[in-house]
Amino acid sequence: MSTTIALSELTGDYVLDTTHTRIGFVARHTMASRVRGEFEKFEGSAHLDGDEPARSSARLSIQANSIQTRNQQRDEQLSGNFLKAGDHPTIDFTSTGVKQTGESTFKLAGDLTMRGVTRPVVVDFELAGAENDPRGDLRVTFRGTVTVSRSAWGVNWNAATSILVEKKVTLEFDIAAIRRS
């Protein structure tokens, strides 16, 4: 962890810095090894309790139609056919628990809702840094991943895609958050 700030000093309420946060994914495709993408529109917040991390919480809401893979046709298929963004405009995560697993590592349990289906997930996170920015605001950064099965949320288009696109998708989180005054 690249910080000189003690965990206990991080206690407070935070808002995502969306210009410095990346919410992405990786899926294996039989014809193009891996497809990487990200979501451009999202918002979220967190409460960190440095003395008792189990009392921390987080919330994230992603605009499903903001998916970007650098291929417009694929983006439209993913947004419309896979995520059904017209019927389910957001992908939401609400934490249900936090467990500290190391000096700067955590397991963040929560409910992930896609396509109107809610399932529990556990995201592995690492506190990557904490520092005061030039304006004096405390910024924290976290990196995290979780691998999910598309079928648990009904994320599929047709029989061919269930063969061409791997059933498991890795969600990637590079989070930057600013403590509110």
How far is the C-alpha of 49 from the C-alpha of 14, rounded, in Å?
A: 11
Residue 104: per-residue pLDDT: 94
The total number of residues written for the chain in this structure:
181
Are the C-beta atoms of residues 150 and 121 closer than 8 Å to each other?
no
pTM equals 0.89
Residue 74: per-residue pLDDT: 85
The tokens describing 160, both together, are: 């061919």
Residue 142: per-residue pLDDT: 98
Q: Which of 61, 54, 56, 63 is nearest to 14 (CA)?
A: 56
The structural domains of the chain, with segments of one domain joined by +, span 2-179
Beta bridge partners of 15: 45, 178
How far is the C-alpha of 92 from the C-alpha of 39, rounded, in Å?
A: 13
Three-class SS of residue 167?
Answer: strand
Each residue's pLDDT expressed in tens, for the chain with a length of 181 residues: 444 678 999 999 999 999 999 999 998 766 667 889 999 999 999 999 999 999 999 999 999 999 999 989 989 988 888 888 999 999 999 999 999 999 999 999 999 999 999 999 999 999 999 999 899 999 999 999 999 988 888 776 544 454 456 678 999 999 999 999 7
Q: Which CATH class is domain 2-179?
A: mainly beta
Element of type H or E holding 154:
none
Residue 4: per-residue pLDDT: 61
* DSSP string of 17-83, one letter each residue: -TTS-EEEEEEEETTSSEEEEEES-EEEEEEE-SS-GGG-EEEEEEEGGGEE-S-HHHHHHIIIIIS
The tokens describing 113, both together, are: 């809702």
